[in-house]
Amino acid sequence: MPGLFSLEGRKALVTGANAGIGRAIATTLAAQGAHVVCAGRRSCDETVAEIAAAGGAAEALRLDFADPMAARDVFEGAGFDILVNNAGIIRRADSVDFTEADWDDVVDINMKAVFFTTQAFGRELIARGRPGAVVSIASLLSFQGGIRVPSYTASKHGVAGLTKILANEWAKHAITVNAVAPGYIATANTQALREDPERARAILDRIPAGRWGAPEDIGGTVAFLCSPAATYLTGAVINVDGGWMAR
Residue 247 placed within a domain: no
pLDDT band (50, 70, 90) for residue 244: very high
What does the pLDDT read at residue 79? Answer: 98
The pLDDT > 90 percentage for the chain reads 96
pLDDT of residue 17: 98
The pLDDT tens digits for 210-237 are: 999 999 999 999 999 999 999 999 999 9
Average pLDDT over residues 108-119: 98
> What is the model's pLDDT at position 190?
85
Average pLDDT over residues 19-33: 98
Domain boundaries, position 198: 11-236
For residue 1, pLDDT beyond 90? no
Question: What is the CB-side half-sphere exposure of residue 116 using CA atoms within 13 A?
Answer: 16
Active site residue 232: no
pLDDT number for residue 189: 76
User: Does residue 2 surpass a pLDDT of 80?
Assistant: no
Number of domains into which the chain is organized? 1
Cα separation, 70 vs 56, in Å, equals: 26
CATH number at residue 107: 3.40.50.720
Of 25-29, 65-69, 197-201, least confident by mean pLDDT is 197-201
Q: At 160, is the pLDDT very low, low, confident or very high (cuts 50, 70, 90)?
A: very high
- Chain centroid, CA 150 distance in Å: 20
Cβ atoms of residues 55 and 216 within 8 Å: no
Within-domain flag for 162: yes
**Whole-prediction pTM:** 0.96
pLDDT of residue 239: 97
* pLDDT value of residue 188: 83
* Amino acid identity for residue 160 in this structure: A
Q: Per-residue pLDDT tens for 40-67?
A: 999 999 999 999 999 999 999 999 999 9
Question: Among 75, 80, 152, 212, which one carries the catalytic annotation?
Answer: 152
**Please, how many CA atoms are within 13 Å of residue 166, restricted to the half-sphere of its CB?**
29
Q: Which backbone phi and psi does 104 adopt, to 5 degrees?
A: -65, -40
